[in-house]
Amino acid sequence: MVINALKTNQNMNLSVTIDQNSGFCFGVVYAIEMAEDVLDEQGYLYCLGDIVHNDEEVNRLKKKGLRIIGYDQFAELVNEKVLIRAHGEPPSTYKKAIENNITLIDATCPVVLKLQNRIRNSHDKKETIFLMGKKGHAEVTGLMGQINNEGVVFSEVSELESINLPEEITLYTQTTKSKEKFHETKRALESRGIKVNAHDTICSQVSDRDTELREFAKSFDKILFVGGTKSSNGKVLYNVCKEQNPNTYFISRTEEIDMSWFQYGDRIGICGATSTPMWLMEEVRTALISA
């Protein structure tokens, strides 16, 4: 389903439609609501890492008192409240919080929490774990922390070509990866004679949007994909749109819109990642129709 803006640019006669299935996933909504509740109560709140991989939303919350910190600053805090974002954290973070009497506002996404438990159980069974994900990504850091970093993280199956792989592996994936790519990876590993115990741990909201966006992208002359440059999910979904509609453009904010992309009478679709706020997509629509 889509929300048709039914608004027209007076000069270029552009019609602009926002995909109503785009925008924050429930995990991000939950984290932001928890943050805003504390901000309304005490005026400030520490958050370990960006609460969401979207600079525009992070800046909005910073103005309300959100203080983004890294692990070094976290280690020095005492007697404070700190938000754990939807990406989750390794056990070491919880241990440090106890040592420093830090109250954790834990907004770990339930989907990520379930994956943390599953990967930990596999490790307890002495399985050889491979995780398809982005090295250094917050979710991946939290997942690998569950197993003392005793696993292999890779983004592309080509990274494993020079590795002497065991006869049997247990394969997991970061929750925001492409379902299609995950199964392609499984088949590629199996073609090498490896027994792959595959766990498709991709969030259903992400995989559903993959399907929905394919239809959405084909329905317009041009697509503006709005997302944060740090968002793994954004990169996946942008590529989905680009495959279906070559006239797809990635922007992070309204200032990046280039009106030379458009022609008179174009039908433009606006969509975004699970980390893209609806208010930002609405700003992009307004900029298009008032340019």
Catalytic residues, by residue number, are 139
Measure the CA angle with vertex 175, ends 45 and 195; round to 5°. Answer: 145
Per-residue tokens: 234: 């954004």
Q: Whats the size of the chain, residue-wise?
A: 291
CB atoms within 10 A of CB 174: 25
Q: What share of the chain is helix, strand, coil (3-state, %, to 5)?
A: 45, 20, 35
Nearest 10 degrees: Cα torsion 130, 135, 141, 147:
20
Q: Which amino acid is at 213?
A: L
Reduced to 3 states, what is the DSSP secondary structure of residue 36?
helix
Question: At 108, which helix (H) or strand (E)?
Answer: none
